[in-house]
Chains A and B, each alone.
Chain A
Amino acid sequence: DTAVSQTPKYLVTQMGNDKSIKCEQNLGHDTMYWYKQDSKKFLKIMFSYNNKELIINETVPNRFSPKSPDKAHLNLHINSLELGDSAVYFCASSQVDGDTQYFGPGTRLTVL
């Protein structure tokens, strides 16, 4: 049983489109995260979210917005996609803030 799952695994789209990536965790964790791994292979935090608050990395453009319909899901919405958004996006979750995080398999986004 997959602990942290993401869909889709691959996403190819045109510049200017709006897209979403879904994330679900069945670990009963309180906090979920989105990371971006760029072409230089750096994994960087984009958002962290629990039922109390959303923390946004200040470098993330406001075209990116996380949406959490419930505790087990944190979806990533991206508006007006740009070429530089091409990357692998990882969702993760942890029991409490700062605890060990468990990652999803990643979504490779390609913007043409």
Chain B
Amino acid sequence: DQQVKQNSPSLSVQEGRISILNCDYTNSMFDYFLWYKKYPAEGPTFLISISSIKDKNEDGRFTVFLNKSAKHLSLHIVPSQPGDSAVYFCAASPLYSGGGADGLTFGKGTHLIIQP
């Protein structure tokens, strides 16, 4: 049973345009959400996070939006650049997991392709 879902396996966006990656979750205990970026043969790299007390967090070209009532978050990248081509993973955890018992729960990832 997937608790974090990324329903788009891939997304193709033209350079300079906005990329929007979506993520849905089912576990109401999740309070902390993260996006990771992964290049082939490398480990996931932390990109941006948001806690449930906020509905938006911005860092440069990257903005994460959280709609807690809909259990939905999205990552906006604007403007998209060729170096943004990678697999993006959405992840979630209870903010205070009381021992790290569950680690992070990951979605399956979305492969973002930026076209010139």
Residues of chain A touching chain B, judged by Cβ–Cβ distance below 8 Å, are: 4, 31, 33, 35, 40-45, 48-50, 52-53, 55, 57, 90, 92, 94, 97-98, 100-106
> Using a CB-CB cutoff of 8 Å, which residues 1-43 of chain B contact chain A?
32, 34, 36, 41-43
- A55 and B42 form a contact (CB under 8 A): no
Residue ID in chain A nearest B97 by CB atoms: A98
List 29 A–B pairs whose Cβ atoms lie within 8 Å, in order of A's numbering: A4-B43, A41-B108, A42-B106, A42-B108, A43-B44, A43-B89, A44-B106, A45-B102, A45-B103, A45-B105, A48-B100, A48-B101, A49-B100, A50-B100, A52-B99, A53-B99, A55-B99, A92-B103, A97-B96, A97-B98, A97-B99, A98-B32, A98-B93, A98-B96, A101-B46, A101-B104, A103-B36, A103-B43, A106-B42
- B103 and A33 form a contact (CB under 8 A): yes
Q: A40-B108, A43-B89, A97-B98 are in contact. Are A103 and B103 (CB under 8 A)?
A: no
Which residues does chain A contribute within 8 Å of B101, judged by CB atoms?
Answer: 48, 55
Residue ID in chain B nearest A9 by CB atoms: B41
* A48 to B101 CA separation, bound complex (whole angstroms): 6
- A33 and B42 form a contact (CB under 8 A): no
Distance (whole angstroms) from the CB of B112 to the closest CB of chain A: 15
Counting contact residues on chain B (CB < 8 A from A), the size range is 20 to 34
Q: A42-B108, A43-B89 are in contact. Are A98 and B95 (CB under 8 A)?
A: yes
